[in-house]
Amino acid sequence: MSIRIAGVNKSFGDFAALTDIDLDLPSGQLTALLGPSGGGKSTLLRIIAGLEVGDTGTVEIEGVDATRLPARKRNVGFVFQHYAAFRHMSVADNVGFGLKIRKRPKAEVKARTAEMLDLVHLSQFAERLPAQLSGGQRQRMALARALAIEPTVLLLDEPFGALDAKVRKELRDWLRRLHDEVHVTTVFVTHDQEEALEVADRIVVINDGRVEQEGTPDELYDAPASEFVMGFLGPVTALQGHLVRPHDLEVESHAFPGAVEGRVARLARVGFEVRVELAVPGEPAPVLVTLTRAEAAHKQLAEGVAAWVRPVPGAGRVAVGGSSAASAGPDPSTGSGVPLVAPGA
Ligand SMILES: Nc1ncnc2c1ncn2[C@@H]1O[C@H](COP(=O)(O)OP(=O)(O)OP(=O)(O)O)[C@@H](O)[C@H]1O
């Protein structure tokens, strides 16, 4: 285990920003701290970095107790959303700065800087000033600077948060490829579930200062431990007291085993998919089902027609007001008494 956090609590005045955090983040992996704004992600990252100290608990980095070590002795690379570059220094000098202040030989600084610029594809901009780079290029420069010192862990706080959606997406693919090349243990903070699902090996969902769930992207998506995690990771709809994913519902224009009857209230084509809203007696809100266009055409669904719906067998789901898919109990819609729980739940 590369980063081990045990019993960490942190309050600001009487506000509890983090409560009872215990986490083991494996070596060489890319872990996302995911959650809504104000949940405590940045505070946790700053405690790992040594920029903030927990009120209780310990932080271990690669087997070394770092709880009382100052930030500069933890050998961490840190990248913030708004990277503060030295404006009067060239891109190359910014990247080599950490090595220079560590008094490494000139030749080594030069070689390592060139290597890092090559890694982040900025070699041709080495002599420019930071102001002459785009936002995305500047964040790549920040990553090169953080990596230049060969950090034990790389900590990224919403590194692409200030960039527009297209550049953000490019950089997230790029970060994944970069990580596959260098394998440095990386923790990054994001509130964007798509970013976490796409890039991370592991995701830790943090809400209200607590860890809601941790696991691989698949584990969290397929077997969410709570309503909160399920809703935060993707669209959900409620049917018969359970939250399910709209693409995990089967719908037909005729009755079929375990399905309940409703009526198509609305049918909308959105790009490659069709979103169907069903009015189902007893359901307080429309039941949302997503289908491909071909499926919708084949099933002859149209506004106003009767339709029958049930969760696909094995669909991940969570009881409304409950806490876990596994506690969902027997499923009335299967008629078999076999609960429909997420795989591995
Ligand atoms: N130095 C501080 N003094 C007082 N309160 C703080 C301090 N730092 C953070 N907080 C509070 O602690 C809570 C958690 O903040 P934190 O920045 O860790 O959340 P976050 O999940 O990273 O959110 P965001 O995505 O908005 O940055 C917030 O309510 C914040 O206002």
DSSP summary character for residue 270: E
Torsional sign, CA 73, 76, 81, 82:
positive
Q: Is the CB of 14 under 6 A from ligand 1?
A: no
Q: Give the residue among 294, 290, 286 at the shortest CA–CA distance from 251.
A: 290
Q: Is the CB of 38 under 6 A from ligand 1?
A: yes
Quick one: which atom of ligand 1 is closest to the CA of 42? 22
Residue closest via CA to ligand 1's atom 4 equals 12
**Gap between the Cα atoms of 114 and 108, Å rounded:** 10
What pLDDT does 198 receive?
92
- 125: number of CA atoms within 13 Å, CB side? 21
**139: number of Cβ within 10 Å:** 28
Q: Is the CB of 37 under 6 A from ligand 1?
A: yes
Instruction: Assess whether the region 3-222 and the region 237-312 belong to the same CATH fold.
Output: no
Alpha-helical (H) ranges within 2-51 are: 41-49
What pLDDT does 344 receive?
34
Q: Ligand 1 pocket: which of 33, 34, 41 to mutate (most atoms <8 Å of CB)? A: 41
pTM across the whole model: 0.84
Q: Is the CB of 17 under 6 A from ligand 1?
A: yes
In the reported structure, the alpha carbon of residue 55 is separated from the centroid of ligand 1 by a whole-number distance in angstroms of 15
Cα 325 from chain centroid?
A: 21
Specify the CATH class of 3-222 in words. Answer: alpha beta
**Gap between the Cα atoms of 242 and 55, Å rounded:** 39
What pLDDT does 307 receive?
96
Distances from the Cα of 288 to the Cα of 156, 247, 268, angstroms: 36, 9, 11
For 326, the enclosing helix (H) or strand (E) is none
Residue closest via CA to ligand 1's atom 25 equals 37
Q: For the chain, what are the domain ranges?
A: 3-222, 237-312
Q: Hey, what are 290's tokens?
A: 């997503």
In the reported structure, the alpha carbon of residue 228 is separated from the centroid of ligand 1 by a whole-number distance in angstroms of 20
213 contacts 225 by C-beta, under 8 angstroms: yes
In the reported structure, the alpha carbon of residue 92 is separated from the centroid of ligand 1 by a whole-number distance in angstroms of 33
Distances from the Cα of 190 to the Cα of 6, 42, 164, 223, angstroms: 22, 9, 15, 21
Residue closest via CA to ligand 1's atom 12 equals 17
What pLDDT does 139 receive?
87
Phi, psi of 102 (to 5 degrees): -85, 10
DSSP 152-201: SEEEEESTTTTS-HHHHHHHHHHHHHHHHHH--EEEEEES-HHHHHHH-S
What pLDDT does 153 receive?
93
Structure confidence by residue, pLDDT tens digits, 205-252: 999 999 999 999 999 988 899 999 999 998 999 999 999 999 999 999
Q: Is the CB of 10 under 6 A from ligand 1?
A: no
What pLDDT does 334 receive?
35
Residue closest via CA to ligand 1's atom 28 equals 38
Helix (H, G, I), strand (E, B) or coil at 55: coil
User: What was the ipTM of the complex prediction?
Assistant: 0.92
Q: Is the CB of 139 under 6 A from ligand 1?
A: no
Cβ neighbours of residue 126 under 8 Å, at least 6 residues apart? 90, 91, 92, 113, 114, 117
Specify the CATH class of 237-312 in words. Answer: mainly beta
**70: number of Cβ within 10 Å:** 10
Residue ranges, the chain, pLDDT below 50:
324-345
196 contacts 32 by C-beta, under 8 angstroms: yes
198 contacts 206 by C-beta, under 8 angstroms: no
In the reported structure, the alpha carbon of residue 225 is separated from the centroid of ligand 1 by a whole-number distance in angstroms of 24
Residue closest via CA to ligand 1's atom 2 equals 12
Pairing mode of beta strands 249-252, 260-270: unpaired
Q: Ligand 1 pocket: which of 12, 157, 158, 210 to mutate (most atoms <8 Å of CB)? A: 12
Q: Ligand 1 pocket: which of 34, 42, 187 to mutate (most atoms <8 Å of CB)? A: 42
Distances from the Cα of 54 to the Cα of 40, 43, 196, angstroms: 12, 9, 25
In the reported structure, the alpha carbon of residue 157 is separated from the centroid of ligand 1 by a whole-number distance in angstroms of 12
In the reported structure, the alpha carbon of residue 44 is separated from the centroid of ligand 1 by a whole-number distance in angstroms of 10
